[in-house]
Amino acid sequence: MSVAGDPDRETLVRALEDERRRELRRLVSRLVVLAVMVVAVFGVFFAGADTVEDRLVILAMALIVGGVPAWMIGRGGPNRWRRHVAEMLYPALAQEAGFTDYAYRGPGLAFDGFREMDLVPAYHSGTRTHLLAGTFSGVRLQAAEVELRRGREGRGRVFTGLAVRARLSGDPGVSVRVGPDGGRIVGAVREAVRAPASGLALVSHAGLRGAGLEVRADNAVLASRLLDAGLAEALKALRPFGAVRAAVVDDVCLVTIETEAAFFPEPAVRRPVPGDHSRAVAARLSALAELGRRLGEALASGPARQG
């Protein structure tokens, strides 16, 4: 699917292409620094060697010492394991959970997948761009696995969670991004989006610790009737899976789910989900499918109160 005329997806494509170029520059710079270090260290010994045999031995040692880390850098190190999981396991999970539309391509071709799919990005950071999409009872549901860090980037505890966005056939143009806020996934919009007919505005408090996502209205009655019982029940059903917030503006719903337990085990980084990891993930995705169904019923029956 072409992204021509769609500024949101065009922006995403450019962002992904820029990220790939930055990753390539980082790779080249690491290899250059490694080469300079190896030459600097072994060059001294090489220049001081008295015989050809000694120089050959030093050269062989330099190739081994520099070649192994260079090979690891080129292969992607720990990220390769994550890519293998995504490429092998995600399609199977999507099928088991009943998703009707799914695409994942390796980080080098990630932007191609976005060009072809009608996806609204939930989160993007480096190679952690694993998106699932499905249609349930007329509700388009999108979910992205995200990795968050408590506190500043690169520090603190690592969390893994899901950011979910559901909408009906129309889209009022709400552009949502997801970012870390004290270990919690929070919604943010580039600007406050106001729906003239209802007087509702979706605003973000990203950056204020623990604030989360908030919906405001000019009319207190409209605010109290924003979400109906169906959404409240759906959120309640998802709380065991870590759901922390749900909000609706017009026909758009954003649900955030967080958990300290990862979907997959990774030694020394995250605590694994007990039991069968594949079934644990599939159960969460199935719960999201049920959420989509309930959202369709709730939004079709009219507004009520927030869950």
pLDDT digits (tens, 9 = 90+) for 209-255: 222 233 333 333 333 333 333 345 445 555 554 555 554 433 344 44
Q: How far is CA 134 from CA 58, 103, 168, 209, 285, in A?
A: 58, 11, 12, 32, 10
The domain ranges of the chain are 7-75, 79-301
Q: Find out whether 158 and 184 touch, Cβ atoms under 8 Å.
A: no
Task: Report the alpha-carbon distance of residue 19 to residue 73 in Å, rounded.
Answer: 17
Q: What pLDDT, in 10s, does the model give residues 148-182?
A: 333 333 333 333 444 444 443 333 333 333 333 32
Q: Find out whether 190 and 204 touch, Cβ atoms under 8 Å.
A: no
Task: Report the alpha-carbon distance of residue 198 to residue 53 in Å, rounded.
Answer: 84
* Crossing angle between the packed helical segments 7-48 and 52-75, to the nearest 10 degrees: 160
Kindly write down the DSSP assignment for every residue of 246-282, as one continuous string.
Answer: EEEETTEEEEEEEESEESS-BTTTBEEPSS-HHHHHH
**What is the model's pTM?**
0.31
Put residue 51 in one of left, alpha, beta given phi > 0 → left and psi -120 to 50 → alpha: beta
Asked whether the CA dihedral 272, 274, 279, 285 is positive or negative, the reply is negative
- Which tokens in the block code for residue 229? 């019982």
pLDDT at 29 over 70: yes
Q: What pLDDT, in 10s, does the model give residues 58-96?
A: 788 888 777 777 776 666 544 554 454 445 544 544 454
Q: Tokens 């199935």 belong to which residue?
A: 286
Q: Cβ atoms within 10 A of the Cβ of 282, count?
A: 18
